[in-house]
Amino acid sequence: MGLSEFDLIQNYFVEGAQRVNRQDLILGIGDDCAIVLPKTQHELAVTMDTLIAGVHFPKATDPYDIGYRCLAVNLSDLAAMGAEPAWFTLALTLPDTDDDWLREFSQGLFDLAEQYNVALIGGDTTRGSLTISIQAQGYVPQGEAMRRSGARSGDLIYITGWPGNSAGGLQLIQENADTDNQGELQFGFLRPQPRVLLGECLRGIATAAIDVSDGLLADLGHIAQASGLAARVEQLDIPLSKALVAAFGVPVALDLALTGGDDYEICFCAPADKSTSIREIARRLELPITCIGRMQDGAGVSLYDDRGELVPILKAKGYQHF
């Protein structure tokens, strides 16, 4: 308590920021603006996400996990465009200045920042209920960003990792507030792995991509709509982790995988003749990538069972704040 705003920034953010060194950062934290010198022949992808305590994560979440997660969700957006992370800014609203909280928060934040060599270059610090906004920027070679609108009829639809793990993990965290939350599913929620390397590998292969934050079917729906196509998903092909099935049984696991949010996996489309390259990428990154359906003429997302019959989709809307 009692830490001044200046000391807070100095102790927890200037020092942490020094863990990342970038040639393209001319002036970091400390002046009215940061100055960067972007490399040529590239576009900058720019994204922002806000996390509010009690809305985006339970209030009792460990500060380390909050720090990690608030950067991870932004890096995930960059990954979905095929961008290589470069810098980020942090707007931090805190109810008070708690040294232990700040130390752990900045550790989680900078452990991930260091992993992807993304530099904290500025921010703002205010008092209020706990809210964290991060804006992140990354490089894409000119014209190579993966948009939601690029899918073509006949493209196959893929999903990375184990969708539903995060939503299942959040449910376990909420149901067992007193346990230590070290399980695989809980980690899926607390420490989402931004698929940054995958995003870069998919440039020139994927025709469209999105990161799954609102639920697989809901986010695939955004690709379908932006591309002016329909998405046909095969229920039997949805990958379900052993942990998710063990904790919830197949029907609930399937529902979590299709409609649960916060996965931060990448859903993408690619022409069928790219399937060998995609298998190769999956092997190289040691990341499961599963084909779950195909894009076709029409509109909307439809789900089919193993007998080829349409499965009604109940809650494919995803989380909406308003």
Looking up tokens 């100095």 gives: 10
CA distance 36 to 276: 39
**In terms of DSSP bridges, do strands 208-211 and 266-270 run parallel, antiparallel, or are they unpaired?**
antiparallel
The nearest distance, CB 87 to Mg ion, in angstroms, is: 17
Distance from the first to the final alpha carbon of the chain:
35
Q: Contact between 99 and ligand ADP (CB under 6 A)?
A: no
**Options 125, 149, 290, 296; binder of ligand ADP; rule CB under 6 A:** 125
Handedness of CA 175, 179, 181, 182 (dihedral sign): negative
Q: How far is the CB of 114 from ligand ADP (least distance, A)?
A: 16
| Residue 42 CA to its chain's centroid (Å) | 23
- Compute the least distance from the CB of residue 27 to ligand ADP, in Å: 9
Nearer to ligand ADP (CB atom), residue 30 or residue 38: 30
- Asked if 63 is part of the footprint of ligand ADP (rule: CB under 6 A), the reply reads no
- Count residues near ligand ADP (CB under 6 A): 13
Residue at token pair 């990428």: 281
Binding of ligand ADP by 162 (CB under 6 A): no
Please give the backbone phi and psi of residue 296, each rounded to the nearest 5 degrees, phi first.
Answer: -145, 170
95 near ligand ADP, rule: CB under 6 A: no
- Is 124 near Mg ion (CB under 5 A)? yes
Among 32, 180, 297, 309, binds ligand ADP (CB under 6 A): 32
Q: Closest approach of Cβ 124 to Mg ion, in Å?
A: 5
**Interface of this chain with ligand ADP, residues 179 to 198, rule: CB under 6 A:** none
Stretch that binds ligand ADP, among 119-127, 218-226, 251-259, 311-319 (CB under 6 A): 119-127
Query: Which partner in ligand ADP, Mg ion, none is near 13 (CB below 5 to 8 A by kind)?
Result: ligand ADP
Supply the DSSP symbol for 90. E
Residue carrying structure tokens 């390397």: 197
By CB under 5 A, residue 5 contacts Mg ion: no
What is the Cα–Cα distance from 258 to 316, expressed in whole angstroms? 8
Q: Residues with Cβ < 8 Å from 307, sequence gap 6 or more? A: none
- Nearer residue to ligand ADP within complex by CB, 89 or 235: 89
Alpha-carbon distance of 86 to 120, in angstroms, equals 9
Q: Does residue 289 belong to the site contacting ligand ADP (CB under 6 A)?
A: no
Residue 124 interacts with ligand ADP (CB under 6 A)?
A: yes
Q: Is 292 in the site for ligand ADP (CB under 6 A)?
A: no
- Per CB under 5 A, 99 contacts Mg ion: no
* Closest by CA position to 316, among listed 239, 219, 236, 171: 219
Q: What is the DSSP string of 29-87?
A: BTBSS-EE-PPTTEEEEEEEEEEEBTTTB-TT--HHHHHHHHHHHHHHHHHHHTPEEEE
Q: For residue 201, how far is the Cα from the chain centroid?
A: 17
Single out the residue of 73, 75, 112, 120 in contact with ligand ADP (rule: CB under 6 A).
Answer: 120
Query: Of 29, 80, 112, 316, which lies in the binding site for ligand ADP, with binding defined by CB under 6 A?
Result: 29
Q: Is residue 107 close enough to count as binding ligand ADP by CB under 6 A?
A: no
Interface with ligand ADP (CB under 6 A):
9, 13, 29-32, 90, 92, 120, 122-125
